[in-house]
Amino acid sequence: MATVEIRDVRKAFGVTEVIHGVSVDIQDGEFVTLVGPSGCGKSTLLRMLAGLESITSGEIRIGPRVVNNVPPKERDIAMVFQNYALYPHMTVADNMAFSLKLRRAPQAEIAKKVNRVAASLGLTKLLDRYPRQLSGGQRQRVAMGRAIVRNPQVFLFDEPLSNLDAKLRVQMRTEIKELHQRLATTTIYVTHDQIEAMTMADKIVVMHDGIVEQIGAPLDLYDHPDNLFVAGFIGSPAMNFLHGTIESSGFRISDDTLLPISSAPPGTEGRKAIYGVRPEHFELSSGGVPATVVVVEPTGSETQVVVRLCGKEVVCLFRERIAARPGETIYISPLPHLIHLFDEKSGRRLQ
């Protein structure tokens, strides 16, 4: 059973604490992404799972075992690094066979496993090449092949697609997801790209400045972000935030502008708050608030329009084509059941 339990883990480098008590529970076979901006501690957490960094306090379990002091090679894990970390002086076949040779597996068994994994990743023709003779995508596949051959309990991915170009990234994303569906191995995947996180994960762990902001399924995080950070991080283009006051019938952002809300949360009337609305949750309606068009960006399938609403720039995403031109006024209305309210001071969601 390859469950992973991270229990109140802290990490300090000298006197600087970088991870402040993180707890995550990962079920067997789950695909979990650790996502967050650079410096949030996600890679450090992954390296602690791998055994490449020591744990200052807290507990990490892989399966039933506490692995705090277990060296990487005995944790039954495999890791794919951001820059692949292929051994340059070995061929692709030797790279993939390395861990099996260390385990002193019989030669025939090694050959069989390497060939099988190479075939599944389309690497059979490349087995005799050296890493320097491969393209970025091929190297990434070899790195994955090296991990798969070990047949570990847990896969760890450390931003494996960051060094690839956009098109290849999309292709490899699908391949990794297919791989996970096929092998059903517990996978922990670190990325700073929230789209990667949304499309690949069963569960997302959003991290920020060494703490966990929210854990949940991708659509849960999208629909019900717990706080400002998660709301602004998940979803692209990012959510719009407007400061104002909650009233019984709406949200006042200026003397003459009231934005719709479905209902004021109990006890919040008159309170200052932040109104969050995603760009895709606006509709064009004659009864809406007036906004001056700043920029129109058609992408073909959608139209992104940046407007000025009460002096604040707001991004809208419409499915339909917009005829408006910069400087013109359009009337937009946020969909009331899809807006979010956050406390101004703490940033927490107001229920």
Partner 1 sequence: MFRDRVALWMYVVVGLASLVAILPLAWLFVLSLDPTQGVASTSTELSLRNYAAVVFDSFMGRYLVNTTIVAVLTVICTLISACLGAYAASRFRFPGRETVMVGLLIASMTPVIAVLVPLYAYAAKLQMLNTYHVRIIVFTAWQLPGTLWLIRAFLDAIPIELEEAALVDGCSRFGAFVKIVLPLLRPGLIAAGLIVFVYVWNEFIIAVSLASKQDMRLVSVGLYFYLSDFGVEWGKIAAGAIISILPPAILFFLLQRHLIHGLSAGAVK
Candidate ranges 50-58, 111-119, 194-202, 336-344; the one touching partner 1 (CB under 8 A): 50-58
Q: Rounded distance, CA 183 to CA 152, Å? A: 11
In the complex, what is the shortest distance from the CB of residue 66 to partner 1, in angstroms, rounded to a whole number? 19
Candidate ranges 71-79, 234-242, 250-258, 298-306; the one touching partner 1 (CB under 8 A): 71-79
- 45 in Cβ contact with 22 (< 8 Å): yes
**DSSP structure class, residue 66:** E
Instruction: Phi first, then psi: give them for residue 61, nearest 5 degrees.
Output: -115, 135
Q: Rounded distance, CA 92 to CA 107, Å? A: 16
Q: Rounded distance, CA 142 to CA 135, Å? A: 11
Determine if 70 is a binding residue for partner 1 (CB under 8 A): no
Of 34, 78, 127, 221, the residue at the interface with partner 1 (CB under 8 A) is 78
Of 36, 41, 51, 244, the residue at the interface with partner 1 (CB under 8 A) is 51
Determine if 72 is a binding residue for partner 1 (CB under 8 A): yes
Strands 312-318 and 303-309: antiparallel
Helix (H, G, I), strand (E, B) or coil at 2: coil
Determine if 136 is a binding residue for partner 1 (CB under 8 A): no
Residues in Cβ contact with 131 at an 8 Å cutoff, skipping those fewer than 6 apart: 84, 86, 87, 88, 92, 95, 139, 142
Of 16, 64, 71, 327, the residue at the interface with partner 1 (CB under 8 A) is 71
Q: Rounded distance, CA 91 to CA 134, Å? A: 11
- Angle value at C-alpha 45, between 39 and 47, nearest 5 degrees: 105
Determine if 300 is a binding residue for partner 1 (CB under 8 A): no
| Binding string, residues 240-269; x marks residues near partner 1 by CB under 8 A | ------------------------------
Number of residues that bind partner 1 (CB under 8 A): 22
In the complex, what is the shortest distance from the CB of residue 14 to partner 1, in angstroms, rounded to a whole number? 10
Candidate ranges 27-35, 79-87, 112-120, 235-243; the one touching partner 1 (CB under 8 A): 79-87
In the complex, what is the shortest distance from the CB of residue 52 to partner 1, in angstroms, rounded to a whole number? 5
Q: Which is nearer to partner 1, 71 or 311 (CB)?
A: 71
Of 11, 146, 180, 203, the residue at the interface with partner 1 (CB under 8 A) is 146
In the complex, what is the shortest distance from the CB of residue 63 to partner 1, in angstroms, rounded to a whole number? 17
CA 346 to chain centre: 23
Helix (H, G, I), strand (E, B) or coil at 251: strand
Residue whose C-alpha is closest to residue 197's, from 21, 2, 37: 37
Determine if 81 is a binding residue for partner 1 (CB under 8 A): yes
Of 77, 93, 198, 293, the residue at the interface with partner 1 (CB under 8 A) is 77
Q: Rounded distance, CA 172 to CA 140, Å? A: 9
**DSSP structure class, residue 121:** T
| Binding string, residues 82-111; x marks residues near partner 1 by CB under 8 A | -x-xxxxx--------xx--xx--------
- 157 in Cβ contact with 187 (< 8 Å): yes
List contacts with partner 1 (CB under 8 A).
Answer: 50-52, 71-73, 77-79, 81, 83, 85-89, 98-99, 102-103, 146, 150
